[in-house]
Amino acid sequence: MKDNNIYKSRALYYAMFSRFFVFATDNSRYLELINLIDTLQKNPLDKTTSVAFTQIRKELKSDSNISFMKEFDSIFHSPETSMVRTTASYFDENVESGKKRLEMQNFLAKTKIRRDEKQYSDYEDHVGFIFSVMSELCDLISEDQEEYINTSHCIFDQILNEFIDDFAKEVYEHEEAKIFKNIVVLLKTFIEFERIFLEVSIPNKKENKNLSHEDKSCENISEDEAARRARNKALRAKGPKKEQEQAFVTFDVDSTE
What secondary structure, in 3-state letters, does 103-139 show? HHHHHHCCCCEEECCCCCCCCCCEHHHHHHHHHHHHH
pLDDT score of 209: 44
pLDDT in tens, 70-122: 999 999 999 888 899 999 999 999 999 999 999 999 999 999 888 777 777 78
Full-model pTM? 0.82
pLDDT score of 240: 40
117, 211 contact by CB (below 8 A): no
21, 86 contact by CB (below 8 A): yes
Residue 166 has pLDDT above 60, yes or no: yes
Percent pLDDT > 90 in the chain is: 68
Nearest to 9 by CA among 232, 247, 243: 243
What three-state secondary structure class fits 251?
Answer: strand
Nearest to 92 by CA among 132, 135, 130: 130
pLDDT score of 23: 79
Residue 67 has pLDDT above 50, yes or no: yes
Residue 232 has pLDDT above 80, yes or no: no
**Residue 144 or residue 223, greater confidence:** 144
27 burial level (CB within 10 Å; 0-12, 13-18, 19+) = exposed
For the chain, the average pLDDT equals 84
Residues 116, 164: Cα–Cα separation, whole Å: 23
Residues 18, 42: Cα–Cα separation, whole Å: 20
Residue 251 has pLDDT above 80, yes or no: no
pLDDT score of 114: 81
pLDDT score of 219: 53
Q: How many helices (H) and strands (E) does the chain have?
A: 12, 2
Residue 179 has pLDDT above 90, yes or no: yes
115, 124 contact by CB (below 8 A): yes
List Cα–Cα distances, 128 to 4, 135, 222, 229, 247, in angstroms: 24, 11, 29, 24, 11
**Residue 234 or residue 219, greater confidence:** 219
pLDDT score of 2: 66
Q: Domain 4-251's class? A: mainly alpha
Chain centroid, CA 98 distance in Å: 19
Residues 216, 219: Cα–Cα separation, whole Å: 5
